[in-house]
Amino acid sequence: MPTQQVTVTDRLVSFVFYCAPLDRYNGMYSDLHGLDTSKYGVTDSASYLTRLPFVVVDVDTKKVIYPTSGAYKEFPGRTYTSALHDGKRSVHSLDAIHIPDEVKRIALHIANDAFRYHRNFQLYPWTVPDAAHSKIHIFELRSDVQNKFIEKNNLPSIPSENTLVVKSAPTNEYYGFLTGDLWRKVSHEYTDADISRLCPSGTISRNALAGDMPHPQVAAHPSHALVPAMTNAVTPHSDGPHAYVGPVLGGSSPASVPAVVSAPALPQVTGSVETIAVDWLATLAPIYAAGAGSRSMAPLTVEIPTLGITLTFIGRALANAINTSDNTTIQQAIKRTSPRTFAAALKAAWRLHIDKLSLSSSWRPMLGSRLHKMGDGLDVTSFEDSLEHIDFTIHNHGAGDRNLPFPTSSGGQKLAKLYAELNRDSETLHGAIYTPWLNWVEPHDTHMHITAKGE
Ligand SMILES: [Zn+2]
């Protein structure tokens, strides 16, 4: 059987990624929306991809052809360009990739889709031409500026989603668009199985009254170990001020959750220590069920009855996911956020008797570093402890507060405890909790950023 005529023996392919610019300085945005800032998506800290995981695969065999060793490669550091008529963009030039002779078509997997567990979405499947060196330009764009972008940059056409188009000149150059909608397809949506794997059921404990933490702070058990513990744990509610009073979740589908795991979790109070068995799949279920079919920017409140905590996604918390896409919904954005981020935040809040937490960002495709793009980041803007009358906004007074100790107010000291809890949590990347005071890095003046462990 004849095979393809290969006239070039060594084919090289280079990818260059141009990250989305800020909407505020983007003339293409104002051409479309004028002075209306409600459509802003790329705000505050423009997109960049340094250290984003990726692999290149043979489309047909799914075999990884790059890197040739190691699980994945990471995007290199950035340079900048302002040559695309829409403001300043970060640019990442990947090393040239040798295409083995037997490979006809290649594709990328990026972000959390680059991990072996996932690799669900082949990005830009493309037949490699018989050319010594092909260069591919990927432009990260809001979905709504595609027409403007080709017009201002003299490009022949809008590429169909997830395809590459040849440039008019120079030869052997191609381009594709990375919109918010394509980012959604690339990014892994956490399943019940992922949640159970990443956040196994366990018990957490706290001082029954607000104050010092009991020891040990957190004990994780396999679910079967809960049976005897829970039998003993079904004691009447404590009459302490922080006794569990919320309703009990019925649990999730029997197909994915063993019955024992979804049994009611009631607190056990021994002396001054209160312990509760947490089934994270059931506990996080209200979060992942929120915002179905909605693209609303309004605040969204989610009750976590098993822990007695109210989570609020503040107004515009998901604006980057929504406004850079045509179709992404609130629920789709939330479902791309690692369960470890929510589990860590809720665990720390519960242990400190915090009953309200406000969030300003979770998964987002086109803003800031790789962390939120991979679903590993969660931003907290305020918290409340109703019993102690603490209502604290995580916002410094300016540059002078950066990298200084937390405020001495009761709220500031509560934040200090929250920060300490998060930094020793099993779900988080220690050292990668950023605040407007301690461990400040750009741009964390108005929130605390939590980084969860990746896969
Ligand atoms: Zn963040």
Q: Mean pLDDT across the stretch 117-127?
A: 93
- Mean confidence (pLDDT) of the chain: 87
pLDDT of residue 310: 98
Q: Please say if the pLDDT value at position 355 is more than 60.
A: yes
Q: Which of 427, 444, 429 shows the shortest CA–CA distance to 217?
A: 427
Specify the range with the lowest mean pLDDT, choosing from 164-178, 238-252, 364-378.
238-252
Q: Mean pLDDT across the stretch 379-394?
A: 96
The alpha carbon dihedral of 414, 419, 423, 426 has a sign of: positive
Quote the pTM value: 0.85
pLDDT of residue 320: 97
| C-alpha of residue 414 to centroid of ligand 1, in Å | 20
pLDDT of residue 268: 86
Q: Mean pLDDT across the stretch 350-371?
A: 96
Q: Please say if the pLDDT value at position 255 is more than 60.
A: no
pLDDT of residue 382: 97
pLDDT of residue 3: 53
Q: Which of 123, 73, 77 shows the shortest CA–CA distance to 97?
A: 73
Choice between 382 and 4, residue whose per-residue pLDDT is larger? 382
Choice between 440 and 213, residue whose per-residue pLDDT is larger? 440
Q: Please say if the pLDDT value at position 146 is more than 60.
A: yes
Is the Cβ–Cβ distance between 278 and 202 less than 8 Å? Answer: yes
Tokens of 121: 């979405």
Q: Please say if the pLDDT value at position 433 is more than 80.
A: yes
Task: Quote the CA–CA distance of 277 and 299 in Å, as a whole number.
Answer: 30
Q: Please say if the pLDDT value at position 299 is more than 90.
A: yes
Q: How sure is the predictor about 8, in pLDDT bands with cuts at 50, 70 and 90?
A: low
What is the distance of C-alpha 124 from the center of its chain? 22
Helix (H, G, I), strand (E, B) or coil at 77: coil
Q: How sure is the predictor about 237, in pLDDT bands with cuts at 50, 70 and 90?
A: very low
Specify the range with the lowest mean pLDDT, choosing from 101-105, 116-120, 127-131, 280-284.
116-120
| C-alpha of residue 441 to centroid of ligand 1, in Å | 11
Q: Please say if the pLDDT value at position 240 is more than 50.
A: no
Q: How sure is the predictor about 238, in pLDDT bands with cuts at 50, 70 and 90?
A: very low
Tell me how many degrees the CA angle 322-53-143 measures, rounded to the nearest 5.
25
Q: Mean pLDDT across the stretch 419-446?
A: 92
Give the rounded percent of residues in the chain with a pLDDT score beyond 70.
86
Pairing label, strands 268-270, 218-220: unpaired
| C-alpha of residue 130 to centroid of ligand 1, in Å | 43
| C-alpha of residue 286 to centroid of ligand 1, in Å | 22
Q: Mean pLDDT across the stretch 239-266?
A: 36
| C-alpha of residue 388 to centroid of ligand 1, in Å | 28
Choice between 123 and 3, residue whose per-residue pLDDT is larger? 123
The Cα-based distances of 199 to 49, 160, 321, 345, 363 in angstroms read 27, 38, 25, 13, 18
* Helix or strand run (H / E) with residue 30: helix 27-33
Length of the chain measured in residues: 455
Give the rounded percent of residues in the chain with a pLDDT score beyond 90.
78
Q: Please say if the pLDDT value at position 242 is more than 60.
A: no
| C-alpha of residue 361 to centroid of ligand 1, in Å | 7
Specify the range with the lowest mean pLDDT, choosing from 134-138, 144-148, 259-263.
259-263
pLDDT of residue 270: 85
What is the distance of C-alpha 29 from the center of its chain? 25
Residue whose entry in the numeric block shows the structure tokens 């369960």: 339
Q: Please say if the pLDDT value at position 262 is more than 70.
A: no
| C-alpha of residue 445 to centroid of ligand 1, in Å | 11
| C-alpha of residue 37 to centroid of ligand 1, in Å | 21
| C-alpha of residue 342 to centroid of ligand 1, in Å | 13
Task: Quote the CA–CA distance of 449 and 435 in Å, as a whole number.
Answer: 7
Q: Mean pLDDT across the stretch 57-75?
A: 96
pLDDT of residue 317: 97
Is the Cβ–Cβ distance between 450 and 378 less than 8 Å? Answer: yes
pLDDT of residue 7: 59
Tell me how many degrees the CA angle 140-86-80 measures, rounded to the nearest 5.
70
Residue whose entry in the numeric block shows the structure tokens 């086109």: 366
Specify the range with the lowest mean pLDDT, choosing from 243-252, 307-316, 406-415.
243-252
| C-alpha of residue 17 to centroid of ligand 1, in Å | 22
The Cα-based distances of 58 to 105, 182, 186, 356, 410 in angstroms read 6, 20, 17, 48, 57
Residue whose entry in the numeric block shows the structure tokens 């569990």: 244
pLDDT of residue 42: 95
| C-alpha of residue 372 to centroid of ligand 1, in Å | 6
Neighbours of 37 (CB within 10 A): 11
| C-alpha of residue 398 to centroid of ligand 1, in Å | 18
Q: Which of 231, 311, 339, 242 shows the shortest CA–CA distance to 277?
A: 231
| C-alpha of residue 362 to centroid of ligand 1, in Å | 7
Tokens of 286: 């209200």
| C-alpha of residue 444 to centroid of ligand 1, in Å | 8
